[in-house]
Amino acid sequence: MQFGDLRGWIAHLRREGELHEVSAEVDWDCELGTITRRAFGNGNGPALLFSNIKDYQHNARCTQLFTGGLSNYSRVALMFGLGKNASITELVQAARKAYSGRVPPVRVSTGPVKENVITGDDINLFDFPVPRWHRRDGGRYINTMQGTVTRDPTTGRMNVGIYRGMIGQKNTIPVLLWRPQNWGQDFARYSGKGEEMPVAFIYGWEPCLPFCASSPVPPDVSEYDVMGALRGAPVELVDCETVPLQVPASAEIVIEGWISPDPATFEMEGPFGEYTGYFGGDQSLKHKVRVTAITHRDKPIFRGTLEGTLPKMLNENSIMSSVQRAALAWNILERSGVPGVTDVHCPPANNGTTLMIQLKQTYRGQAKQAAAAIWGSNAAHLRYKHIWVVNDDIDIHDYGAIDWAFAYRVNAAEDDIVFFPGTFGSALDPSTRLKFRDTNIYGTGKWSRVLIDATINLDFEPEANYNGDRYPPMVKPDERDWEHVDRRWQEYGFTRD
């Protein structure tokens, strides 16, 4: 699906009844974030367009903020061009196809994002209605749903990711820059030569941009190519003003700048209400972006989002991660030669930290093979801490079914629970001791990963009492009895489902 730009996406959501427009005055300081939290609900709330933000009315440079475009499965389905009631597995299959495709971008000479160009002393990040999303945030977080563009100085590959950053001074953005992430690897190549790294931030474009930017696309692949595959047409890019990078021509806002490796340039950043549902990345000196230009459309719309997932409090990251991480894991399993995979799911409440795999089991150790394939991939850096594997008779979208399999098909004494200690992991996970989350020392967090093999144990001997099966028969009614009762269901006075 092609929407043209953020405005086209908003118009589409309005027509589909997926948008709620807030015209009452709202304070950018915590009130907007709290409204967003409550409206998102448990993944069933609307997208939100705020048009009356305190201190940003009338003649302000930017007066509107859009959020929640992908905080509901129905809107993810619309992004893919599917029906709003498409199943989660259908969304995962659509994402798998997009991740496997490549449609390179094209260069154009100019576009709406060049309608206003700001440089020098005129740069002021406070001109934009950036919220303080949570009361305990270390500042106003401008980078929550943006596309962060960097380039590999050796190959020229452009990376587009989503990494957090807050407003420091009127022209600086201190950021959380980790070495294992794609832009961290790009930064290492620049800093190894003693050079600053150019960077550009994109705020507001088609929904495929934040979806692909927040996906762990392989380091040698540009997210622009994957966006093109998802939308079915190349992304039109224009040159930036002050950095050697390209951005979508019809983006709402672009901020350009440079990141120095010199610790003397660092600024305070953090903490931030992170995806784990806890505040993470404590306040400390971190890399900063020295802003050198801002370009934006006339009457731009700022794009941001509320981070942090809690039970029954989902958000864009949790819904997107549920689809993204399942799709990527399924592709990894397929490329690794793990046979028999019939479904893959990441429950949205944990942002892909837990992975469920359903497979048709044909040999012993198949579940362990699947876990090893996932944990050995670069996609496992911040996700897939816990993996469940079940047989194909277990619905992995039904936690009750998962719990039943855990109760009666898992025996820790039979190696059904496997620990993989001392691996790389999320430095934002508070279940890891604080000293092991120091990325300045270790470069990453530390996880002990767990596989729960809830498949039927093929080490068990087939039993004559069970007609040659390894487990006794299940109590589900015989198919003949089920069909008989189904035919007469309405005779019993019941209404058909």
Give whole-number Cα distances, 241 to 354, 410, 434, in Å: 42, 59, 41
Sign (positive/negative) of CA torsion 227, 249, 46, 214? positive
- Rounded Cα–Cα distance for residues 414 and 339 (Å): 23
Give whole-number Cα distances, 336 to 46, 340, 375, in Å: 38, 12, 12
Which two tokens mark 187? 């930064």
pLDDT digits (tens, 9 = 90+) for 13-50: 999 999 999 999 999 999 999 999 999 999 999 999 99
Kindly tell me if the per-residue pLDDT of 466 is higher than 90: no
Q: Within its chain, how far is the Cα of 415 from the centroid? A: 32
- pLDDT reported for residue 13: 98
- Rounded Cα–Cα distance for residues 203 and 300 (Å): 10
Give whole-number Cα distances, 128 to 13, 62, 131, 137, in Å: 24, 5, 9, 18
The position carrying tokens 């150790």 is 365
- pLDDT reported for residue 281: 82
Nearest residue to 387 via CA among 350, 413, 362, 424: 350
* pLDDT, mean over the chain: 95
- Rounded Cα–Cα distance for residues 280 and 277 (Å): 9
- pLDDT reported for residue 271: 94
Which two tokens mark 310? 């809690």
Amino acid (one-letter) located at 325: R
- pLDDT reported for residue 382: 86
Please say whether the beta carbons of 175 and 163 come within 8 A. Answer: yes
The position carrying tokens 């359903």 is 358
Report the first-to-last Cα separation within the chain, whole angstroms.
33
- The angle at the Cα of 96, spanning 326 to 374, to the nearest 5 degrees, equals 45
Strand-pairing partners, residue 236, are 106
- Give the burial class of 142: count Cβ atoms within 10 A of its Cβ; 0-12 exposed, 13-18 middle, 19 or more buried: buried
Spell out the residues 6+ positions from residue 255 whose beta carbon is closer than 8 angstroms to its own: 125, 142, 173, 200, 201, 203, 289, 291, 293, 294
Nearest residue to 329 via CA among 86, 93, 88, 80: 93
Kindly tell me if the per-residue pLDDT of 443 is higher than 90: no
Give whole-number Cα distances, 493 to 90, 113, 187, 231, in Å: 35, 63, 68, 49
Residues in the chain: 497
Kindly tell me if the per-residue pLDDT of 497 is higher than 80: no
- pLDDT reported for residue 282: 85
Spell out the residues 6+ positions from residue 6 whose beta carbon is closer than 8 angstroms to its own: 66, 204, 205, 206, 251, 252, 301, 303
Pairing of β 386-391 and β 354-359: parallel
Q: For the chain, list the domains and their CATH numbers.
A: 316-454 (3.40.1670.10)
- pLDDT reported for residue 496: 82
How many Cβ atoms sit within 10 Å of the Cβ of residue 259? 23
pLDDT digits (tens, 9 = 90+) for 42-81: 999 999 999 999 999 988 999 999 999 999 999 999 999 9
What φ, ψ does residue 257 adopt, rounded to 5°? 180, -170
Average pLDDT over residues 422-451: 90
Kindly tell me if the per-residue pLDDT of 381 is higher than 90: no
Average pLDDT over residues 261-289: 93
